[in-house]
């Protein structure tokens, strides 16, 4: 009978599922290996003030420099890292890399750069998350004013009370909180009001057709007015054209991010851009 069973199993394993399982297993192994071999790198995308036109901050965006496959987008591996819990280690790696970069800039006399770091709900859910952040920030001598953590609307799915406590503790360290991809989730305004957020980022979905689609114009204006009435500032993501830029500026949107201004870049290229724009004044 056992033989019969294993025969059936074998038949099943040869199906597509087998491929998927194998792929997932090798992906998990590869991600662990990538951590060990230090294959993750951080790119930075500038965030611009609509009024002054100056770069006011950078978003840290992870990439995987795979020895054979080249640069891999986070879209390809972050969802998987979230499923396996590996996002906890990968996320901490990003925080450490950003902190090291900030230290380098401090040593050059640059103290005012603000870097946004994406956090996954699974990271915040860890009971020791806040202590790790407090320790790392202290050990590395990082000023909380230089840090913004980006969360998404699903941040409270595990434990809203715990999440709010963690966010409040981060804020007591002068760290700011941004709500990323806003408008794509299903959160109510009363839920939103419970989260101590400083910045709302309008998702690219609502920016795409903003110069044509009056429905999206309405949504963007509404998000900006809700955000302002909650004493939050607003960043528009994914601005690709001057038309989109001007439209959002006319709506009173505060900050701009998108390929029109700059793609995410490796740190060396970001540094030369900051020097050119006299943001870094050596
Ligand atoms: P996100 O946090 O919403 O980041 C913005 C994404 O939009 C980035 O994609 C950025 O490259 C892209 N983008 C910016 N401007 C434009 C534009 O004008 N047009 C278009 N088409 N795209 C634009 P990226 O770097 O591929 O990152 C994708 C997502 O991966 C991020 O979305 C974030 O959710 C996640 N991610 C990235 N780094 C990390 C990380 O360190 N930790 C975690 N947990 N998630 C991360
Ligand atoms: Mg983000
Ligand atoms: Mg986003
Ligand atoms: Mg997004």
137, 173 contact by CB (below 8 A): yes
Spans in the chain with pLDDT lower than 70: 1-22, 25, 282
Residues at Cβ < 5 Å from ligand 3 ion: 180-181, 237
pLDDT cut 70: percent of the chain above it:
91
Average pLDDT over all residues of the chain: 91
Separation of CA 263 and ligand 4 centre (Å): 14
User: Residue 4: what pLDDT?
Assistant: 44
Ligand nearest, relative to CA of residue 150? 2
CA Rg, the chain, in Å? 21
Residue 94 CB–ligand 1 contact under 6 Å: yes
Residue 251 tokens, joined: 């709506």
d(CA 45, CA 139): 26
Determine how many CB atoms are found less than 10 A away from the CB of residue 97: 18
Residue 46 CB–ligand 1 contact under 6 Å: no
Residue 78 CB–ligand 1 contact under 6 Å: yes
User: Residue 13: what pLDDT?
Assistant: 46
d(CA 124, CA 256): 27
User: Residue 1: what pLDDT?
Assistant: 40
Residue 181 CB–ligand 1 contact under 6 Å: yes
Residue to mutate, 40, 61, 240, 259, ligand 1, most ligand atoms under 8 Å from C-beta: 61
Residue 235 CB–ligand 1 contact under 6 Å: no
User: Residue 18: what pLDDT?
Assistant: 60
User: Residue 191: what pLDDT?
Assistant: 87
ipTM confidence score: 0.98
User: Residue 63: what pLDDT?
Assistant: 98
200, 255 contact by CB (below 8 A): no
Residue 15 tokens, joined: 């199906």
Separation of CA 87 and ligand 2 centre (Å): 15
Ligand nearest, relative to CA of residue 259? 1
User: Residue 22: what pLDDT?
Assistant: 63
Which helix (H) or strand (E) is 234 found in, with range? strand 233-236
Short-list 69, 72, 67, CA closest to 43: 72
Which helix (H) or strand (E) is 45 found in, with range? strand 40-49
User: Residue 27: what pLDDT?
Assistant: 87
User: Residue 277: what pLDDT?
Assistant: 87
């Amino acid at each position: 009978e056992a033989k019969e069973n294993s025969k059936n199993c074998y038949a099943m394993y040869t199906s597509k599922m087998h491929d998927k399982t194998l792929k997932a297993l090798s992906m998990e192994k590869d991600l662990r290996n990538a951590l060990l071999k230090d294959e993750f790198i951080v790119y930075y995308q500038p965030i611009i003030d609509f009024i002054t036109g100056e770069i006011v901050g950078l978003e840290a965006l992870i990439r995987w420099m795979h020895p054979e496959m080249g640069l891999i987008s986070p879209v390809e591996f972050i969802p998987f890292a979230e499923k396996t819990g590996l996002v906890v280690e990968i996320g901490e790696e990003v925080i450490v890399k950003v902190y090291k970069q900030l230290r380098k800039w401090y040593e050059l006399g640059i103290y005012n750069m603000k870097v946004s770091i994406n956090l996954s709900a699974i990271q915040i859910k860890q009971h020791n998350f806040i202590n790790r952040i407090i320790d790392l920030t202290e050990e590395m001598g990082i000023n909380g004013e230089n840090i913004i953590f980006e969360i998404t609307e699903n941040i409270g799915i595990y434990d809203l009370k715990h999440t709010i406590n963690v966010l409040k503790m981060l804020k007591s360290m002068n760290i700011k909180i941004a709500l990323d991809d806003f408008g794509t989730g299903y959160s109510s305004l009363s839920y939103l009001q419970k989260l101590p957020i400083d910045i709302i980022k309008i998702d690219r979905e609502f920016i795409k057709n903003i110069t044509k689609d009056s429905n999206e114009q309405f949504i963007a204006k509404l998000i900006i007015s809700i955000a302002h009435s909650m004493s939050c500032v607003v960043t528009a993501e994914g601005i690709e054209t001057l038309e989109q830029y001007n439209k959002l500026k006319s709506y009173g949107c505060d900050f701009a991010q998108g390929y029109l201004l700059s793609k995410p870049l490796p740190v060396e290229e970001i540094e030369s851009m900051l020097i050119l724009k006299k943001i870094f004044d050596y």
